[in-house]
Amino acid sequence: MSYQSSSQPTRAECQSGLHAAIVEVAETSLFAFTDECDADGFADALQQGAAECFRGAVRFDGAFGGEVELMLPDALARELCASFGGLNSPDEVGERDLADFVGEVANMVCGAWLTRACHDQSFTLAPPQVTRGAAEPTAADACRFFLAINDTPASVRLFWASNPASRER
């Protein structure tokens, strides 16, 4: 899928493209497996103790602008970071390394999506911003979807730069 004009892609195009990008990053860079998940599965996981999450957000600007946000439950972020770093246990992951890792994964997802979807257009990506906090189970955003990585629900969403004041986190 490729966007040929400078107009914003549709919600369906975004979901399809972002889904393909996170699957690509998870499977080829993180050696993790992905599966389907929906808002209810994400909400259920939150109620069962995965409420603390890391959010990695990457702003981009070019033919259109916005921000891609990846939300990973703490345990999943630690598991993936430990595996990626060749550590024996998620307990060996330091907080700074974990924040760097989550930011880099968000950067890889955003870059993979834009490269695949808009290969004939250039974009500037800002340094990733990583925060920690409670996850949000709602799916009311203009472009948000859920998937499971190594059987743990995660979330990806896109905010458009055309109306950044309307973003709610």
Residue 111 lies in a domain: yes
Share of the chain residues as helix, strand and coil, in percent rounded to the nearest 5 = 45, 25, 30
Is 70 in contact with 156 (CB distance < 8 Å)? yes
Encoded amino acid at 70, one letter = L
Q: Does residue 35 lie within any of the structural domains?
A: yes
Q: Does the pLDDT value for residue 161 go beyond 80?
A: no
Distance CA 162, CA 17 (A): 20
Instruction: State percent of the chain over pLDDT 90.
Output: 46
Q: Is residue 168 part of a domain?
A: no
Write down the H helix ranges in the chain. 11-24, 39-45, 74-85, 95-117
What is the CATH number for 39?
Answer: 3.40.1550.10
Question: Is 5 a member of any domain?
Answer: no
The whole-number pLDDT of residue 143 equals 80
**Does 23 map to a domain?**
yes
By residue range, what is the domain housing residue 142? 11-159
Position 49 in a domain? yes
Question: In this model, does residue 136 exceed pLDDT 80?
Answer: no
Percent with pLDDT over 70 in the chain:
83
29 within a domain of the structure (yes/no): yes
pLDDT digits 0-9 by tens, 111-126: 999 988 887 888 999 9
pLDDT (tens digit per residue) in 69-85? 999 998 899 999 999 99
Confidence of residue 1 (pLDDT cuts 50, 70, 90): very low
Predicted pLDDT of residue 141? 54
* Distance (Å, whole) CA 161 – CA 63: 11
State the total domains in the chain. Answer: 1
Domain contains 3? no
